[in-house]
Amino acid sequence: MRRLAGPLAALAVLAVLALALPAAAQELCPCPPPPPPPPDFTGSLGLGGALTKGNTDTFNLSFTLGLKYDPKTKNVVKLDATYLRGEKDGDLQLDRLAALLRDEYSFSPRLFGYAEVGYLRDRFKGIEYLFSPAAGAGYKVLDSDTLKLSVDAGFGGAFESDYVDYPASSVTVSSDSAAIRAGEAFAWKISPSATLTQAFTALWKTEDTSDAIYHFEVTLAAAITKWSDVKVTFTDDYKNKPPDPKLKKNDTALLAAIVFKM
């Protein structure tokens, strides 16, 4: 018995230490709490500009707004707006405002429906206003944390008022029509701090399908801080039938902006 007492005592001490060490480790090194869930409401504000002086005085300003409400159910509401303004030697050369309010509802992980209202004002393209409500359905071809690709199509209307001869005249003519809309959106998360996005939309008036408007854009965003990004965006807007034959069909823009997250 005396011979067994020593080993038994040693085993008892080891058992006590085995039970005590994990508890002590937990007290000294508590596990970090899980990250909080993402907020339902997110947004961003972007501001960019350029100023030149010399033989030609130019001033360009870009302002962007993005809002998103996602309560982690099947419904997501988004609002995006962009304003561009440009002056040359004191004369206004660019005045463009575009906005889109969109509500998406997921029927399945891939299939979704949407309703939206688009607005466009582009004085130097001859457009006083263009309202384009539409509803339709779309499909998520890719939907991972790294790659996203979706396509959609819908039916709605195009309610447009155009300048006859801007800026020489403020006379406008109106044209309303049913419309067909199609779109595509792509996103690639290149790294934890860089993202490439691309989008394309087309709007055809049913009364004259050749009277169409196409919009293409591609954006590269890189994080500066947790709450800010730098973004470089290229946009291409094509109106197949400008209200004034002297106007060019195609307009492009290259924008750089600092974006602040909300």
Q: What is the pLDDT of residues 52-78, one digit of tens each?
A: 566 556 788 999 999 999 998 899 999
Please, which pLDDT band fits residue 245 given cuts at 50, 70 and 90? confident
Show the domains of the chain with their CATH numbers: 41-261 (2.40.160.40)
The answer on pLDDT for 14 being more than 60 is no
pTM of the model: 0.82
Give per-residue pLDDT as tens, 127-149: 999 999 999 999 999 999 999 99
* List of residues 6+ apart from 10 with CB closer than 8 A: none
Question: Where is pLDDT greater, at 189 or 29?
Answer: 189
Burial of 252 (0-12, 13-18, 19+ CB in 10 A): exposed
Of the chain, the percentage scoring pLDDT greater than 90 comes to 61
DSSP type of residue 207:
T
**pLDDT given at position 252:** 86
Contacts of 110 (CB under 8 A, 6+ apart): 139, 140, 143
Strand ranges (DSSP E) for the chain? 41-52, 58-69, 75-88, 91-106, 111-122, 127-143, 147-163, 172-191, 194-205, 208-225, 228-239, 250-261
> What is the predicted pLDDT for the residue at 87?
84
Residue 97 CA to residue 16 CA, distance in Å, equals 73
Q: Give the pLDDT of residue 22.
A: 53
Higher-confidence residue of 246 and 76: namely 76
Q: What is the pLDDT of residues 106-115, one digit of tens each?
A: 999 999 999 9
At 179, which amino acid appears?
Answer: A
Query: Could you report the per-residue pLDDT of 73-87, keeping only the tens digit for each?
Result: 899 999 999 999 988
CA-based radius of gyration for the chain: 28
Q: What is the pLDDT of residue 19?
A: 54
Task: Indicate the SS3 state at residue 20.
Answer: helix
pLDDT at 8 > cutoff 60: no
The model's pLDDT over 221-242, given as tens digits with 9 standing for 90+, comes to: 999 999 999 999 999 999 999 8
Averaged over 92-98, what is the pLDDT? 89
